[in-house]
A and B are shown apart, each in its own frame.
Chain A
Amino acid sequence: MAARSSLQGAAITPSSSIPTLSALADPPARVMDGAAMDYFLIELVNTVRASSAVAVARTKKVEQEMIDAGLLPVPPPNAAAAPASMRDSMASTGSKLDGKIARDEDEEAVRLRLESIGMHVGANVAERLCHDRALFENTLDAIKFICKDLWSACWDKQVDNLRTNHRGVYVLQDNSFKTIQRISSWGGRADALKKAKIYVAMPAGIIKGALARLGLQTVVVPEITTLPQCTFQVKLPKGA
């Protein structure tokens, strides 16, 4: 409605509507409260975890029904990791291994969902950020854009260290990554590190999505060595 009235006004009184038009073309930057974003992301991970557990349980149930009905072959038991002859004595560890594998599968499902959410977000953020930029000359330029503009838009700072092997692998290092800066656990540093891994899945997705929208298909692998330092390894396909 406001847009239409400003366009109509443009024919009659151009001087007063020019500020409105230019405001449309170049909107003022909108900012979001950092704390609100943090709370939202915390809840996002919890919600995705719960919903992904439901989804995985549902597919497992359907699979089981199909196995029972004979439509699918019976999968080899997970105790194939432990030799069959020792299965009796290792029954307890076998079940522990099953438990661990199931938990890892769940974590993997959560991570995939978070990464795909991040990809959508990253693509749109990149779209917005480059609307008045020139084309990128080469891949390095695109990566530098990620390191500077995307990082300051999402996490209020720039990447601390960028390394490359000039063969398509870039390592972006952030010495104090905002998303994991406040993570601390009752169980000590090691426990906190383990639990923090899921919280960098979405930022990795943001980077991946932004690069994808800029035309580069990449694989982004986040790694946390010590809190709050985080590195993202960006692998470009051969020939890029």
Chain B
Amino acid sequence: MTIYSLYIYDRHCACVYYHDWQRVKPARPAIEGGILPAVSHEVTPNTNTPAAVDPSRRNTLMSLSGVVVAVNDEVPRTPLPNATSSPSLNSGLPFDEEAKLVYGVVLSLRNMIRKISGKDEQFVNYRTSTYKLHLYETLSGYKFIMLSDPNADSLRFVLRQIYSGPFLEYVVRNPLVQMDSKEHGIDNEYFRTSTDRMIRGLSVFQ
């Protein structure tokens, strides 16, 4: 039983934090302006290397062990010039597209379930053949989404622990983190190391 990755979205529907432990293909940096600064050092666009982004390869059905990317055949929304880059980078979406997809899936499922079963029903997790996606939503609109292998039990309690532990300590009570801002994510050193330590210390991890 392993845990693949963690996404945190705020109530403005933007990804404010990303952390991964295992991926088949490395996360690709986002397009400039696609994600907020301070989400994750791995996926922040680096303006010095424009060759890292290649959106023209998106029309494929990819199966990463962390994210199943089912892309329709639409023209890419942000027209960017084709960049020549090494084949290892032409895999999967840039991070901001991926984050939006994950959020979109969660939001649509949640709304559909509410419409079908009423307001009291809550979307908790869903499972496919390669991964399981768990959702924990707080009253303040923060959504904690975790992807794990399909055989895992419900990890909702883990997400709840992340919320009441590292999140409250190092994000809410941290003077330097602007919560609810539309321009910054919530990544910082202490939060990252404490969530990492917490997840790695779980019995369900690897």
Contacts and interface: CB of A to CB of B under 8 A. Distances in A.
A35 B173 contact: yes
A184 B190 contact: yes
A189 interface: yes
Contacts of A42: 173, 175
B169 interface: yes
Of B38, B170, B174, most buried by chain A (CB within 10 Å of CB) is B174
B187 interface: yes
A45 interface: yes
A188 B176 CA distance: 12
Contacts, number: 41
Interface string A175-204: 000000011111011001001100100000
A35 B168 CA distance: 10
B136 interface: no
A38 B173 contact: yes
The dominant DSSP class at the A interface is helix
B5 interface: no
Contacts of A186: 37-38, 184-185, 187-188
B37 A182 contact: no
A182 B173 contact: yes
Say which size band chain A's interface belongs to: 10 to 19
A185 B176 CA distance: 6
Contacts of A199: 175
A189 B169 CA distance: 17
Of B170, B185, B188, most buried by chain A (CB within 10 Å of CB) is B188
Of B176, B184, B188, most buried by chain A (CB within 10 Å of CB) is B176
B169 A182 contact: yes
Contacts of B170: 182, 184
Contact of B176 (A38, A41, A192): A192
A202 B37 CA distance: 30
B167 to A, nearest CB: 12
Contacts of B187: 186
B176 A195 contact: yes
B7 interface: no
B191 interface: yes
Of A35, A184, A192, A195, most buried by chain B (CB within 10 Å of CB) is A184
Contacts of B37: 186
Nearest to A191: B176
Contacts of B176: 183-185, 192, 195-196
B39 to A, nearest CB: 9
Interface string A32-66: 00010011011001000000000000000000000
A76 to B, nearest CB: 36
A166 to B, nearest CB: 37
Contacts of B120: none
B73 interface: no
A188 B175 CA distance: 15
A199 B175 CA distance: 9
A112 B140 CA distance: 35
B173 A39 contact: yes
Interface of B: 37-38, 169-170, 172-176, 184-185, 187-191
28 contacts: A35-B173, A38-B173, A39-B172, A39-B173, A42-B173, A42-B175, A45-B175, A182-B169, A182-B174, A182-B175, A182-B190, A183-B174, A183-B175, A183-B176, A184-B170, A184-B188, A184-B189, A184-B190, A185-B188, A186-B37, A186-B184, A186-B185, A186-B187, A186-B188, A188-B189, A192-B188, A195-B176, A196-B176
Given A182-B169, A184-B170, A184-B190, 15 more contacts: A39-B172, A42-B175, A45-B175, A182-B190, A183-B174, A183-B175, A183-B176, A184-B188, A185-B176, A185-B188, A189-B189, A192-B176, A192-B189, A196-B176, A199-B175
